[in-house]
Amino acid sequence: MNHSENSFIDRTTPRPCGYVNTPEIARFAGLHPTTLVKWRNRRVGPPFTRLGRKVLYSLEAFDVWLRDSEQKPLTK
């Protein structure tokens, strides 16, 4: 996945390169941010990093999580 041209990233907020916050990853994934909060509390969903009170998602780790979550179709 090429993230270099994605408009879901807020470039005005300072953060480590390759990381996005909860609203950005939610917008990208088509999820509500509250869903990601619930998943974090249950320790499911994409991996995240806490920096003090900030929660950040690595775009690379999100891609891996997404690929690993892929469901294979049932065959007859």
- How do residues 21-59 score in pLDDT, each as one tens digit? 999 999 999 999 999 999 999 999 999 999 999 999 999
Q: What is the pLDDT of residue 74?
A: 86
Q: Roughly how many angstroms between the first and final C-alpha of the chain, as a whole number?
A: 31
Is residue 1 predicted with pLDDT exceeding 60?
Answer: no
Q: What is the pLDDT averaged over residues 14-22?
A: 83
* Residue 41: strand pairing partners: none
pLDDT of residue 33: 97
The torsion of the CA quartet 3, 16, 27, 33, rounded to 10 degrees, works out to 150
- Strand partners for 55: 50
State how far the Cα of 26 lies from the Cα of 21, in Å rounded to an integer: 9
